[in-house]
């Protein structure tokens, strides 16, 4: 099955609320259980920035709307209609996957005193609070992977926002296979993740 065969999801419009139903019926030619390919994101490049080895940061799990808060790979066919990539899934819920890759990127940068997730007992100076706004492939004649993540650098000692920004990247899809969709999303996320790390280091 190629990347052009999707699980269709339609948005239902109501007077003041856009509802995106998330329970999908699997379309399978054999009528049996789907054999989903499981995909991971590559390690995000560590980015560049000044060393801040006297600082420790916390990376909470990103927030995301229900549409993105799952292990499904999203394909957008119109502003109000999305589909899920058939026979494919992320290795974890997308927000948990993004969180892990950001933590690894900060660690691998070698420019910060410490980084961790909630519950690990670090004495924290700042939190990098993120929200996944887009993580999808736009279908059409030109298929493009789009990743958009907003970030706030929160002073953990007084609760003030030190800096905030929105990071976006796009990458073309080079083919019609599922792995081509994932590759493009991976490239777009690598750029966004690297930019978040570099921005955080500059902003502290």
Q: What is the pLDDT of residues 61-83, one digit of tens each?
A: 999 999 999 999 999 998 889 99
198 lies in some domain:
yes
Domain containing 11: what range?
6-203
90 lies in some domain:
yes
* CATH number of the structural domain spanning residue 132: 3.40.50.10610
Q: Evaluate if residue 19 carries a pLDDT over 90.
A: no
pLDDT in tens, 85-120: 999 999 999 999 999 999 999 999 999 999 999 998
CB 153, CB 203: distance < 8 Å: yes
Check residue 36 and give its pLDDT: 82
* CA-closest candidate to residue 147, choices 178, 90, 87, 190: 190
Q: Which of 25-29, 50-54, 59-63 has the highest mean pLDDT?
A: 59-63
Number of domains in the chain: 1
Q: Evaluate if residue 3 carries a pLDDT over 50.
A: no
57 lies in some domain:
yes
151 lies in some domain:
yes
pLDDT in tens, 140-168: 778 999 999 999 999 999 999 999 999 99
Check residue 141 and give its pLDDT: 79
CB 118, CB 59: distance < 8 Å: no
144 lies in some domain:
yes
Check residue 20 and give its pLDDT: 32
1 lies in some domain:
no
Average pLDDT, the chain: 84
For residue 177, with 0-12 CB atoms within 10 Å meaning exposed, 13-18 middle and 19 or more buried, which class applies? middle
**Would you state the structure tokens that stand for residue 165, as one six-digit string?**
């920004």
Q: Is the dihedral of CA 185, 191, 197, 200 positive or negative?
A: negative
51 lies in some domain:
yes
The CA distance from 131 to 85, in Å, is: 22
The model's pTM:
0.82
The CA distance from 53 to 113, in Å, is: 4
* Rounded percentage of the chain residues whose pLDDT exceeds 90: 70
186 lies in some domain:
yes
């Amino acid at each position: 099955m190629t990347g052009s065969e999707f699980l269709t999801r339609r948005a239902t419009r109501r007077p003041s609320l856009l509802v995106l139903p998330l329970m999908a019926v699997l379309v399978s030619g054999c009528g049996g259980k789907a054999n989903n390919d499981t995909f991971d994101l590559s390690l995000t490049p560590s980015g560049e920035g000044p060393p801040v080895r006297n600082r420790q940061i916390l990376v909470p799990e990103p927030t995301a709307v229900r549409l993105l808060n799952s292990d499904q790979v999203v394909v957008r066919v119109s502003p109000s209609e999305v589909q899920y990539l058939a026979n494919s899934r992320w290795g974890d819920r997308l927000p948990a996957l993004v969180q892990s890759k950001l933590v690894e990127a900060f660690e691998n940068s070698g420019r910060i005193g410490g980084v961790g997730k909630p519950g690990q007992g670090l004495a924290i100076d700042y939190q990098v609070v993120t929200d996944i706004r887009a993580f999808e492939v736009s279908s059409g004649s030109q298929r493009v992977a789009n990743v958009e993540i907003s970030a706030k650098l929160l002073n953990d000692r007084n609760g003030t926002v030190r800096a905030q920004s929105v990071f976006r990247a796009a990458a073309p899809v080079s083919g019609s296979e599922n792995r081509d969709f994932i590759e493009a999303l991976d490239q777009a996320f690598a750029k966004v993740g690297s930019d978040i790390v570099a921005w955080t280091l500059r902003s502290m």
